[in-house]
Amino acid sequence: MSLSFGVAQILNALALASLITILASGLALIFGLRGAMNFAHGALYMLGAYLGYSAGRSLGFWPALVFVPIVMALAGAALEISVLRPFQGRTPVDMALITLGVGWIMEPAVYYWWGTAPLSVDPPPSLAGSVPILGTMYPAYRLFLTGVGFGTCIALALWLKNTTSGMHTRAVSHQAHISRMMGVNTDRLSMLVACLGTAFAGFAGVLAGPYLSVDPGMGSTILITCLIVVVVGGLGSIGGAIVASVVYGFIQVIGAVFFPSAAVLAPYLLLIAVLIWRPQGFGRGRVT
């Protein structure tokens, strides 16, 4: 294997991991605070991608990258008010089924507006070319995606660690009752986290446009990946989700190169192995 081939594979793994990281972080954040696995997350990501397609055509890629997460944050507020808050206290299975239902409602709505034919989004002209890296020409958009993906997660980690609202989020995810007794407004915090989680899904959707095809199946496909990553990373753990995303990316790439016939099974084998070896996942607990 040549150096340039190896470098390309590492970059491929990181590009895939970065997209999954953004999505899985949003999912982990909501789970950490609400204890609800949001099965509508894949559909929210798909909605973000379609909104990104439309906004990109009328406003351009860069405005879409700002505009769509804001719209999706509003969708997150609606999700919080209409689903997460009224059903808080229900069992995890109930919440999973309810959010799955929300996703199933959103999908036909997307079909209605945009149709079922796949759509394509071009990268912005400044990122359309390739750049030389250690003897290989590598697409600039993938490098941008990798940087933005991991940069977003670092920003999220800094927010959780260094701000009052971040500290409150960590506190509520560990001991909601005590946090409330200490004066933390959990409803307001939950609203913030739901908005952030869905904004992340929308952000990932816009970023995915020039990377993948925008199509009706994109949400359900990536939801399974995200669930694996969140479980492997440790339920509700942001740091764990980042590590698990990178491991997932490398497993996919290594599998495709060296064990192509088993590549499709690799994520599930990882899930089984982690559940046996370390059932709590890579992370140290919720929202860490």
Contact residues for another protein, defined by CB under 8 A: 5, 8-9, 11-13, 15-16, 19, 111, 115-120, 123, 128, 130, 137-139, 141-142, 210-213, 215-218, 220-222, 225, 252-253, 256-257, 260-261, 263-264
Q: Which is nearer to another protein, 158 or 264 (CB)?
A: 264
- For residue 182, the minimal CB distance to another protein (Å) is 43
- For residue 201, the minimal CB distance to another protein (Å) is 15
Q: Which is nearer to another protein, 55 or 189 (CB)?
A: 55
3-state SS, one letter per residue, for the chain: CCHHHHHHHHHHHHHHHHHHHHHHHHHHHHHHHHCCCCCCHHHHHHHHHHHHHHHHHHHCHHHHHHHHHHHHHHHHHHHHHHHHCCCCCCCHHHHHHHHHHHHHHHHHHHHHHHCCCCECCCCCHHHCCEEEECCEEEEHHHHHHHHHHHHHHHHHHHHHHHCHHHHHHHHHHHCHHHHHHCCCCHHHHHHHHHHHHHHHHHHHHHHHCCCCCECCCHHHHHHHHHHHHHHHHCCCCHHHHHHHHHHHHHHHHHHHHHCHHHHHHHHHHHHHHHHHHCCCCCCCCCCC
Q: Which is nearer to another protein, 62 or 111 (CB)?
A: 111
Q: Which is nearer to another protein, 42 or 76 (CB)?
A: 42
- For residue 242, the minimal CB distance to another protein (Å) is 18
- For residue 149, the minimal CB distance to another protein (Å) is 13
Q: Which is nearer to another protein, 66 or 269 (CB)?
A: 269
- For residue 279, the minimal CB distance to another protein (Å) is 27
